[in-house]
Amino acid sequence: MSEPIPSSTTSSETSSSVILRPRQSQWPAISMEDALKIVVETAQPIISKSVPANLVRPGMVLYEPVIAKNPIPPARTSIKDGYAVIASDGIGDREVITVTTAGSITTLKVTPGTCARVSTGAMIPAGADAVVQVEDTELIKHNNIEEQVIRILKPPKENQDIREIGSDVSIGQILLEKRCILGSAEIGIIAASGQRFIEIYRKPKVCVMSTGNELIDWTAEETPEGKIRDTNRPQLLALLNVHGFKTIDGGIVGDTREQLIQSIKVAFKFSNVIVMSGGVSMGEKDLVKSVLKDDFGFTIHFGRVFMKPGLPSTFATGTYENNDLRYIFAVPGNPVSAWVACQLFAIPALRKLGGYQNCFQTEIKVRLAEQIRLDLRPEYRRAWLSTTDNSDKESTISDNENIPLAFCTSHNQLSSFILSTRGANLLLKLPSKTESQQFLKSGDIVSALVIGQL
Amino acid sequence: MSEPIPSSTTSSETSSSVILRPRQSQWPAISMEDALKIVVETAQPIISKSVPANLVRPGMVLYEPVIAKNPIPPARTSIKDGYAVIASDGIGDREVITVTTAGSITTLKVTPGTCARVSTGAMIPAGADAVVQVEDTELIKHNNIEEQVIRILKPPKENQDIREIGSDVSIGQILLEKRCILGSAEIGIIAASGQRFIEIYRKPKVCVMSTGNELIDWTAEETPEGKIRDTNRPQLLALLNVHGFKTIDGGIVGDTREQLIQSIKVAFKFSNVIVMSGGVSMGEKDLVKSVLKDDFGFTIHFGRVFMKPGLPSTFATGTYENNDLRYIFAVPGNPVSAWVACQLFAIPALRKLGGYQNCFQTEIKVRLAEQIRLDLRPEYRRAWLSTTDNSDKESTISDNENIPLAFCTSHNQLSSFILSTRGANLLLKLPSKTESQQFLKSGDIVSALVIGQL
C-alpha cells in the first residue's frame, strides 16, 4: 500500500496544509455571557433617516421622540350620544335649540333651560357644561321632524361626559419616546400627532450566504450524489425577515479561499453585515476564520462559544474600503446550529444596530413537560409553549400551574436534525450538567427565550 | 324661542327619523363568550393556492402536508471532522488511504488497518463503520504533503458519529402537517423536503374604512375646526399587516346612507372582508347597522357586546353579487375601542379564514403590578409584560414570582384616549365587578391575551 494517496480534494493550498493543522481547536470556547456582551458592545447603531409619516411601518424604531402638533381633542367634544346641558339646571324638561354631530360646527349657545342634541365626538356648544346620555332622557315634544323638548331623567354632574380641549394630549407633549418600537398602536398615535415626517433608525441590511462544496440550491429538481440541499439560506433569510431586517441573498460559496474572499467582497458592496453558515469547524475546508483574519485583517472576537448547539460560532468585525464597521457572523453549517446561533448572536446585534433598546429576546419562566438530560455545555433547546387553558380547573391548580408548560420539539436534538426546529417558539436555557445535577425533572422551572409568536 | 331648529345636518333622511329613534339600544349586549363563538363558527376558510417553494413566506399556512421527496441525509455522512475507521480495529495506527470532504465522492473502501480522513458532512467510504474525531487522534507519518499514518487514541464504538441514510428523514415522511403556520424553521424544512410547490391557504384581503363627517385624512397639513385626524385607518391597516393580512385602504366615508352604500359596494369589488370604524353607536348619524341590514340584507350576528372597550362592536355577514360570504366588522370609532375590537373579533375571524387552527390569541397568566378597579363590563385592559429578569434572586423568589408582572399602559382607560394603546403587548382579561369584588389587588394573577411581540 505505498501508492500515492488518492484525494478528491483539488485545491493545493488545503492539501499542503493539512499535515500542519492543529488537532485541537485554536479557539478558546468562551462563555455565552462573554460572547453576548462582546456582541452588543461591539454593535453600534448606524444612522437615522426621515420617513414621511404615512410610510411609517411596524417594526421601525424612533430616532427622535414624536411630539404632538395638535391638542387632542382639538375642541370640547361629547363622549356620548345625548344632550349638552347646563349641569346646574338639574333634571326636568329642556328645549332642544340646536344639533351638533361629529364634524359639524355650531355657533349657538346653550342657555339655562335649553340643550343641544349632540352625538359622540361632536363639538359641545358654548354654555353647556355637561352631557346627558340619550338613555337617560325622554322625548316630550316634537314637530314631526325635529325634537323640540326632551326631559332629563338623571341629574347631570358638571363636566360629565365632556372631553376638554387637550385633555388627552396637549400641544408639544411627547407622545412616543426616542427608541420606541413602532407597532399598530404607535402608528395610530403618529397619525394623531399631526407630524408629517418621522426620524427613524436606519436598519442594517444583511447578506446571507452558505458555504460548502456539498451544497446545491434548494430549488434544484434533483439532488446529485454527494450533494445536499442548502436549507440554511432560505431559513436564515426568513428568520431575518421575520425580525424586520432587509436581506440580500449571497448565494452558495465554494470551500476555497478565493471564492470566500470574492463573495465577501461582493456582499460588502451591498451590506455591512454578513451572516454566513458553514466553514467554521475543524475540517480542512473550514477556511472562514482564516480568510477573515488573514485576508481581510478582521478581528475575530470569538471563534468558539461554550454552548450547544453552535460551539464554533464566530463573530468578526473590521473595516473594508471605507471606515464603516463591518460585522460578520459565521455560524455552523448544521441547520439547527445555524438557526439557533443566528437567533442568539446575529439578531441581538442587528437589533442594536437598528436602534433597539432591548436587544435580547424576552425571557419567561416555563415548566418542563418532560425530563431532560443535561449536557456538558449550556444548551438552548428548541421548545414550544403549551397553550392549554387552565382556567377551567382553577380550584385545583397551584400557583405553579400558572407557569406555562413547555414541550421540547423533539427528543433528537442533534444539530443536524432540522426537524427539531419545527414549531419552536422558545429556546429553553438549560444549565450545564454538574456532578449533582445530571437531569432536569418534569415540572422543573427554567428560563426560556421567546423566539417566535406565542 | 319658536324659530325652527337650526341644524348643521343636511341629510333629510336622518333629520326625519330622529324623533323616532329608540332611546335605548335595540341591540342586546351579548356576552364575549357568545360573540367569539359566533365569529369563529361563522368564518370559514376560503380556498387554497399553490406557490413555488421559493416564494413561501413566514406566516403562510399549509393547506396540505409537506412530504419528504429525499431522504436526509442522502448518504452516510460524518458528524465530525476526523477519520472513518472500522470500529473493531480499536485503538492504534491506521494508514490514511483516502480523503473525503463534504460534497466529494470516493469509491475507495476502508479495509482493516486503514482509515479515511473525513470532514463534517462528508460521505463515509464503504467499509468504515465509525468516525473518530480529530481531537482523539495523532499524526504519526506524512510525506510533507499528505497524512500517511495517524493514531487512534480512543477506542471507537460502532456507528459512532455517523449519520445513516434517511436517519433524520425518510422518503415520504410527513415533515409538516396540514395547517402548520410557516416560520423560518418551517421554511428551512420545506427547503430540505425537495418539494417544488407548496399548497397553502389563501389569506383574506381586508378593506379598512373609517366613517365620520368629522374625519380628515391623517396626512392633512392642518386640522380644520370641528375636524379630527383619522387615526383608525392607519392603526387598523398596520394591525392587520402585522398579522400578515393584505389590506386595502377604503378611505374615509361620510355619515350618509348613500356614501356608506357606495363605499361598501366598492370595497366588495376587492375584498370579502371589511373592517370599518365608527357609526355603530346610538348617535343619529350611526347608520352602519341599518345600512347593512336594510340596504344589503345582511345578517347582523351581534350589534353590541357586553365588554369594555368596544360595547357597540358589530358583526354582520351576507352575500353580494356572488355566493361568496362577505364579512363586516363594524367597530366603534374611538381609537382604543377600534383597536381592541379589531384584535378581539376581526383577527380571530381572519385567522380562521386564513386556515389557522388556533384562531385566538395565546393566553398567559400574569401578575398585576398595581391595583385595578373593576368595571361592570368585563374589560380588556391594555398592558405590557415586564421583562425584568428575576434570575439573580432565585434563592428568595417564590413560585409566584416566576409569573411575569404586567403593567397597565395608562391609568386613563377612556376609549378615546389613544395613548392607552402605547406599548401594549397584552390585553388583560378583567372580570366584571361584583358585590364582593370591586378591585383586583397588586399581585393578583389574571389571564392576559398576548397581542404583540413579547
Q: Kindly list the residues from chain A whose CB atom is less than 8 angstroms away from the CB atom of residue B227.
A: 74, 103
Q: What are φ and ψ of residue A357, in 5° steps? A: -80, -45
DSSP character for B124? P
Give the pLDDT score at A393: 44
Give the pLDDT score at A115: 97
Give the model's confidence band at B343: pLDDT under 50 very low, under 70 low, under 90 confident, else very high: very high
CA nearest to B263, candidates B208, B312, B333: B208
Is the confidence at residue B391, as pLDDT, over 80?
no
Task: Determine whether domain B363-450 maps to CATH 2.40.340.10.
Answer: yes
Q: The domain at A21-46+203-353 falls in which architecture?
A: 3-Layer(aba) Sandwich (3.40)
- Which of B133, B189, B333 lies nearest to residue A422, judging by beta carbons? B189
Q: Kindly list the residues from chain B whose CB atom is less than 8 angstroms away from the CB atom of residue A227.
A: 74, 103
Domain residue limits, chain A:
21-46+203-353, 50-69+181-201, 77-163, 363-450
Is the confidence at residue A218, as pLDDT, over 70?
yes
Is the confidence at residue B16, as pLDDT, over 70?
no
Give the pLDDT score at A17: 61
CB pair distance less than 8 Å for A335 and B192: yes
The span from the CA of A399 to the CA of B399, in Å, is 7
Least confident stretch, A105-109, B254-258, B328-332: A105-109
- Pinpoint the alpha helices (H) of B271-321: 288-290
Q: In the CATH hierarchy, which top-level class contains the domain B12-46+203-353?
A: alpha beta
Question: Tell me: the pLDDT tens digits for A313-365?
Answer: 999 999 999 888 999 999 999 999 999 999 999 999 999 999 999 999 999 99
Grid coordinates of A410: 423533539
Rounded to an integer, the average pLDDT of A424-443 is: 96
Question: Tell me: the pLDDT tens digits for B395-452?
Answer: 444 557 788 899 998 877 777 788 989 999 999 999 999 999 999 999 999 999 999 9
**For chain B, percent of residues with pLDDT exceeding 90:** 79
Q: Nearest 5 degrees, angle CA A59-CA A62-CA A63? A: 140
Grid coordinates of A129: 357644561
Task: Determine whether domain B77-163 maps to CATH 2.170.190.11.
Answer: yes
CA nearest to A443, candidates A398, A409, A382: A398
Q: Kindly list the residues from chain A whose CB atom is less than 8 angstroms away from the CB atom of residue B430.
A: none
Is the confidence at residue A397, as pLDDT, over 70?
no
CB pair distance less than 8 Å for B184 and A236: yes
Question: Tell me: the pLDDT tens digits for A164-194?
Answer: 999 999 999 999 999 999 999 999 999 999 9
Amino acid occupying residue B275:
V
- Which of B105, B188, B335 lies nearest to residue A231, judging by beta carbons? B188
Is the confidence at residue B260, as pLDDT, over 80?
yes
State the best of A9, A101, A115 to mutate against chain B, taking most chain B CBs within 10 Å.
Answer: A101
Give the pLDDT score at A415: 79
Size of interface A-B (CB pairs under 8 A): 428
Rounded to an integer, the average pLDDT of B271-279 is: 96
Is the confidence at residue B120, as pLDDT, over 80?
yes
Grid coordinates of B443: 399581585
Least confident stretch, A400-404, B232-236, B323-327: A400-404
HSE (CB half, 13 Å, CA atoms) of A142?
14
Give the pLDDT score at B22: 80
**Positive/negative CA dihedral, A160, A165, A168, A170:** negative
State the best of A184, A280, A409 to mutate against chain B, taking most chain B CBs within 10 Å.
Answer: A184
Rounded to an integer, the average pLDDT of B41-47 is: 91
Is the confidence at residue B8, as pLDDT, over 60?
no
Is the confidence at residue B271, as pLDDT, over 80?
yes
Give the pLDDT score at A192: 95
CA nearest to A228, candidates B106, B120, B99: B120
